[in-house]
Amino acid sequence: MESGTKENTSFDADKIREHFPIFFQPENEGLIYFDSAATSQRPREVLTACNNFYEKINANAHRGAYKIAEKATAAFEAAREKTAKFIGAGRTEEIIFVRSTTEAINFVAYGWARKFIGVEDEILVTEMEHHSNLIPWQVAAQKTGARLRFLKMNENGVLPLDQLDSLLSRKTKLVAVTHVSNVLGTVNPVKEIIRAAHNVGAKVVVDGAQSVPHLPVDVVDLDADFFAFSGHKMLAPMGIGVLYGKTALLEEMEPVYYGGEMINDVDYYQSTWNDLPWKFEAGTQNIAGAIGLGAAIDFINSIGIDTIREHDHSLTEYALNELKKIKDLVILGPTENRGPAISFTLGNIHAHDLATYLDQKNIAIRSGHHCAKLVMKKFNVAATARASFYLYNTKSEIDALVHALNEAKGYFSKWR
Amino acid sequence: MALDELYQEIILEHYKKPKNMGLLENADIKVEGKNPFCGDEIELAIKLKDDIIENVTFDGSGCAISQASASLMTEKIKGKSIVEVKKLISTFKKMVKGEDDSQVNRDNLEELLALQGVSEFPSRIKCALLAWNTLLLGLEEKLNKKAGEK
Ligand SMILES: Cc1ncc(COP(=O)(O)O)c(C=O)c1O
């Protein structure tokens, strides 16, 4: 099918696809995967790296004075270094390995917020947060007595910054904001939000789950205080995620888990904590996961995050244009400056019915509230369908989606 | 096409024109159910006469499967005793989950058999069960209350 728009010539998604075994399983023939915002697929390079760890150097990190343990430790720490470079962290020890974005944000909620936030204080969150950057703050506010306030979005799913003046004050201790919305695709001006927050002395935790996979991120340039993301949305395995924090904040923050590896000295009644980052990494870590994350970063770097961003962007533009042509299809969120996730409704067809229909055509999209019920409330819908793209997707797949959506309209029209 | 097995004519009928929509006044049982996974919601209002479900209505929003299932359910349980309805709930659950059951039980489901196709679509089982789980919750709350009063 002729797409009309020019494909990015420096980038060949079909070639990229060859690295992803999931597309070559006989039982997945014809799979069109449009749910990378939920979790991405993984290239062979990442799977091999994890496997190599278990096959060749499997041992616990930081615990053995023998060759494979030293190799395992070195590989684990090398992954941390790659991760630090990838997001522009000033120091490698500012990278804490956790399970996921959710765990990273909870670390901040338990280890930092509960220690430094009190009854007189305020926490500011936005209306477009994923539940993982909302519920921890609801509960933190309940536990500390702090007031939870909301930065509202406009009808295009954009956060108007002029509200910030009236919302931020010396009482604001923490601002929680997503870098890119998983529902609306909105790319938020986090740098400006951070600057405004810092002006009143507030710290900012950024949910980077949907940004790190798709755009160049530099936490120092953003001046983020805490920054959270998940490996599994950026080609790495499930069960590995990252909490970045500025050294000074991580130092004053309480450990969240206590136990092995996170201690410096232990006595009968009290102990002291290890240095960063290990103070936060109690117990055996997901070493294979971290190594997989390192391999995912190598893979992304071998293509270039800017190239990936351009590809995602051109797919998104193309999809927005094509989807707009479908009568009764309503797209939520901004029309420009957005990440590669597009939520929509189609007439009165429920998103769930639509997803089942598309699945019959081997097109995997997400339906539901996308863990963002406040966004659903705002747009007054119970559920939406969401198509999200990544480096292995192509325009012809989008053509197939558009074709199937038109067919679905026909199929479900007999209902009216 | 497998899709037509899921979206049978009778399901579409009930989705288009749900039966017993809107909430009864003076209900003896009022109960709400939600499917946190997809945001579907339902509210049931039941009028009892002794142990018999004299009338039942529902309100809510959701996909074709959840709405049709609710509509079919209200039709089916009207006039039945609480004991009969509880048995029916378990029979219905077995069917949509694709579990074995006796032929007598299956036949007893009548129009509800239209939802049998759901068992082939694991992600949709919750949709079909929403109304039924909500009903079960409502009945049990009522029975517990009664037991408490005695
Ligand atoms: C914006 C955003 N934040 C947080 C999360 C939670 O990520 P995880 O489930 O990996 O903790 C997601 C993914 O579902 C997301 O899209």
Alpha helices in A18-160 (DSSP H): 44-56, 67-86, 101-107, 114-116, 135-144
Give the integer Cα–Cα distance in Å for B93 and A158.
44
Q: What is the pLDDT of residue A87?
A: 98
Q: Hey, is the C-beta of B62 within 8 angstroms of any chain A C-beta?
A: yes
**Is 50 exceeded by the pLDDT of residue A189?**
yes
CB atoms within 10 A of CB A223: 15
**Is 60 exceeded by the pLDDT of residue A191?**
yes
Write out chain A residues lying below 8 Å of B65, CB-based: 352-353
Q: Say how many CA atoms lie within 13 Å of A163 toward its Cβ.
A: 14
Suggest the residue from A346, A350, A369, A384 to mutate for an interface test with chain B (most B CBs closer than 10 A). A350
Give the SS3 label for residue A103: helix
Joined together, the tokens standing for residue A395 give 């325009």
Contacts of A68 (CB under 8 A, 6+ apart): A56, A57, A58, A59
**Is 80 exceeded by the pLDDT of residue A5?**
no
DSSP for A10-55, written as a single string = T--HHHHHTT-GGGG-GGGTT-EE-BTTT-----HHHHHHHHHHHH
Q: What is the pLDDT of residue B145?
A: 87
Give the integer Cα–Cα distance in Å for A93 and A91.
5
Give the integer Cα–Cα distance in Å for A350 and A331.
14
Are B2 and A357 a contacting pair at CB < 8 A? Answer: no
**Is 70 exceeded by the pLDDT of residue A1?**
no
Q: Say how many CA atoms lie within 13 Å of A373 toward its Cβ.
A: 10
Q: Whose CA is nearest to atom 14 of ligand 1?
A: A38
- Considering only CB atoms, B3 lies closest to which of A350, A360, A382, namely A360
The atom of ligand 1 lying closest to the CA of A104 is 11
Give the SS3 label for residue B46: strand
Strand-strand pairing, A226-230 and A241-245 = antiparallel
**Is 70 exceeded by the pLDDT of residue A11?**
yes
**Whole-Å CA distances, A404 to A2, A162, A183, A344:** 17, 41, 21, 14
- C-alpha A191 – ligand 1 centre gap (Å): 20
Give the integer Cα–Cα distance in Å for B37 and B57.
24
Are A382 and B64 a contacting pair at CB < 8 A? Answer: no
Q: What is the pLDDT of residue A136?
A: 98
- C-alpha A375 – ligand 1 centre gap (Å): 15
Tell me what the pLDDT averaged over chain B comes to.
Answer: 93
Task: Determine the residue type at B75.
Answer: E
**Is 60 exceeded by the pLDDT of residue A2?**
no
Where do the DSSP E strands lie in A235-298?
241-245, 263-266, 271-273
- Domains (ranges, CATH) in chain A? 13-42+304-413 (3.90.1150.10), 47-301 (3.40.640.10)
Q: Say how many CA atoms lie within 13 Å of A355 toward its Cβ.
A: 25
**Is 70 exceeded by the pLDDT of residue A19?**
yes
> What pLDDT digit, counting tens, does each position of A119-149 carry?
999 999 999 999 999 999 999 999 999 999 9
The one catalytic residue among A31, A139, A371, A381: A371
The answer to whether the CB of A32 falls within 8 A of the CB of A362 is yes
Gyration radius (Cα) of chain A, Å? 22
Suggest the residue from B5, B10, B38 to mutate for an interface test with chain A (most A CBs closer than 10 A). B38
Give the SS3 label for residue A246: coil
List for chain A the helix, strand, coil content (%; round to 5): 45, 15, 40
Q: What is the pLDDT of residue A7?
A: 47
Quick one: DSSP state of residue A161? G
Are B38 and A357 a contacting pair at CB < 8 A? Answer: no
- C-alpha A389 – ligand 1 centre gap (Å): 16
**Is 80 exceeded by the pLDDT of residue A217?**
yes
> What pLDDT digit, counting tens, does each position of A345-388 carry?
999 999 999 999 999 999 999 999 999 999 999 999 989 999 99
Q: What is the pLDDT along chain B (150 residues), one digit of tens a residue?
A: 578 889 998 998 999 899 999 999 999 999 999 987 777 899 999 999 999 999 999 999 899 999 999 999 999 999 999 999 999 999 999 999 999 999 999 999 999 999 999 999 998 999 999 999 999 999 999 989 888 876
Token pair 């923490």 is at which residue?
A: A174
Write out chain B residues lying below 8 Å of A368, CB-based: 37-39
- For the ranges A246-260, A290-304, B3-17, B125-139, the lowest mean pLDDT is seen at B3-17
Ligand 1, CB cutoff 6 Å, lining residues = A 37, 100-102, 130, 132-133, 178, 182, 207, 209-210, 230, 232, 371
The question of whether A50 is a catalytic residue gets the answer: no
Q: Hey, is the C-beta of B63 within 8 angstroms of any chain A C-beta?
A: yes
Are A415 and B15 a contacting pair at CB < 8 A? Answer: yes
> What are the two backbone dihedrals, phi and then psi, of residue A121, each rounded to the nearest 5 degrees?
-95, 170
Helices and strands, counts by H and E, chain B: 6, 3
Contacts A–B by Cβ distance under 8 A: 50
Are A352 and B127 a contacting pair at CB < 8 A? Answer: yes
Tell me what the pLDDT averaged over chain A comes to.
Answer: 95
The answer to whether the CB of A179 falls within 8 A of the CB of A208 is yes
Are B38 and A353 a contacting pair at CB < 8 A? Answer: no
